């Protein structure tokens, strides 16, 4: 038996949220899945979940920006995994207001509800983007925070709000900070799906933004395992914890590695529309994951170059399945 009666997952309809929700249900948790209300009655990626998973789910359709709705969703739950957020960096240049509403106000709504109902654990999702370009590597949790995009700034705001509730009201909050997660179902605005879907659609010239920045890629199964360790570990409360592979690779080399796995030559073409403004580009990310190992007993199963290659194989297998590929508009830039 799990120590929580019911776990609320916000953003359960999204890329990481849907994988997490399915894994929790398979592990025997009682899950309430908070999905974004829409008139299509779509549960996002959860629509693709096996029937035996869907049958177990308590689905709540709402909007994280609506305080009353969030209160209703939290009632009866004793743990919250808060993933609901706007995450696209290019769209944050275009519509920063929505990022403040969703990421900061949405997080405030979750924290207020958790406090009202005396929830026993809140795991708030951060991002490696809060660090900005690495000032030293590997990046520990003590690294300075640098808002290099409106998205990053909104996540810094949300993280600090979550920590302030822990410090001010003893709200049992822990902050999980995943580095670049990839895997099946990811949006095509992210770099790995962008490369795979373009190659799978028969293109040999791949349009990308900057190829020199480095990233620390995490396969979604490792990220999900990190969330579950955060949920189950008493050591997570009041802490910010990196979930990263401790392996650094450039975007250009990642594209080559994908080409290698797909057995295709890759020619990269720089696409102006995909470039971030110069001072906004995060040049280097490389996670120090020693705190996660120490406090959570978590370590990546898909670590290092070989682990990345295996994760890419599984991701490519999913994206090259025609039923999945059809969901993506490979001929259009997804902001």
Instruction: Read off the pLDDT of residues 193-206 as tens digits, 9 standing for 90 and up.
Output: 999 999 998 888 88
Q: What pTM was estimated for this model as a whole?
A: 0.97
Check residue 270 and give its pLDDT.
Answer: 78
**What is the Cα–Cα distance from 130 to 139, expressed in whole angstroms?**
11
Check residue 277 and give its pLDDT.
Answer: 76
Mean pLDDT for all residues in the chain: 95
Q: Where are the beta strands (DSSP E) in 48-145?
A: 58-62, 79-82, 121-125
Check residue 275 and give its pLDDT.
Answer: 67
Closest alpha carbon to 158 in 123, 115, 119, 116: 123
Check residue 76 and give its pLDDT.
Answer: 98
Domain 191-215+247-285+303-325 CATH (choose: 3.40.50.720, 3.40.50.280, 3.90.25.10, 3.90.1300.10): 3.90.25.10
Q: What are phi and psi of 81, to 5 degrees?
A: -110, 105
Highest CATH level, class, for 7-182+218-243 = alpha beta
Common-topology check for domains 7-182+218-243 and 191-215+247-285+303-325: no
**What is the Cα–Cα distance from 320 to 328, expressed in whole angstroms?**
11
| Mean pLDDT value of segment 204-213 | 87
Helix axes 67-74, 106-116, angle to 10 degrees: 40
CB atoms within 10 A of CB 100: 18
Instruction: Read off the pLDDT of residues 290-315 as tens digits, 9 standing for 90 and up.
Output: 999 999 999 999 999 999 999 999 99
Closest alpha carbon to 296 in 239, 230, 237: 230
Check residue 246 and give its pLDDT.
Answer: 97
Closest alpha carbon to 78 in 174, 4, 162: 4
β-bridge partners, 82: 10, 124
Structure tokens at 222: 């490792």
Check residue 171 and give its pLDDT.
Answer: 98
Domain ranges within the chain, ordered by starting residue? 7-182+218-243, 191-215+247-285+303-325
Instruction: Read off the pLDDT of residues 28-79 as tens digits, 9 standing for 90 and up.
Output: 999 999 999 999 999 999 999 999 999 999 999 999 999 999 999 999 999 9
């Amino acid at each position: 038996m799990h120590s929580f009666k019911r776990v609320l997952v916000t953003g359960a309809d999204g890329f990481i949220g849907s994988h997490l929700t399915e894994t929790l249900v398979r592990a025997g948790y009682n899950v309430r899945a908070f999905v974004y209300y829409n008139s299509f009655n779509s549960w996002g990626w959860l629509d693709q979940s096996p029937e035996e998973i869907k049958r177990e789910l308590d689905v709540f359709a709402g909007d994280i920006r609506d305080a009353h709705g969030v209160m209703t969703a939290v009632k009866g739950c004793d743990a919250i995994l808060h993933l609901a957020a706007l995450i696209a960096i290019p769209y944050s240049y275009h519509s920063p207001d929505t990022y403040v509403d969703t990421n900061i106000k949405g997080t405030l709504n979750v924290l207020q509800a958790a406090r009202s109902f005396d929830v026993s654990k809140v795991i708030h999702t951060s991002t490696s983007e809060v660090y900005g370009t690495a000032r030293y590597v590997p990046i520990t949790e003590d690294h300075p925070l640098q808002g290099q995009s409106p998205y990053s700034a909104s996540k810094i705001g949300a993280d600090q709000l979550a920590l302030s509730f822990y410090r001010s009201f003893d709200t049992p909050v822990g902050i999980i900070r995943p580095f670049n997660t990839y895997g099946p179902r990811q949006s095509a605005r992210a770099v790995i799906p962008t490369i795979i879907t373009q190659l799978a659609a028969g293109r040999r010239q791949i349009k990308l933004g900057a190829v020199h920045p480095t990233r620390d890629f995490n396969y979604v199964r490792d990220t999900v395992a990190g969330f579950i360790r955060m949920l189950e570990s008493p050591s997570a409360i009041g802490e910010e914890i990196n979930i990263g592979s401790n392996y650094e690779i450039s975007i250009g080399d990642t594209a080559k590695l994908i080409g290698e796995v797909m057995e295709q030559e890759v020619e990269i073409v720089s696409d102006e529309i995909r470039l971030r403004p110069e001072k906004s580009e995060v040049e280097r990310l490389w996670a120090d994951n020693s705190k996660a190992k120490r406090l959570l007993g978590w370590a990546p199963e898909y670590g290092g170059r070989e682990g990345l290659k295996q994760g890419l194989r599984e991701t490519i297998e999913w994206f090259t399945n025609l039923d999945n590929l059809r969901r993506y508009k490979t001929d259009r830039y997804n902001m």
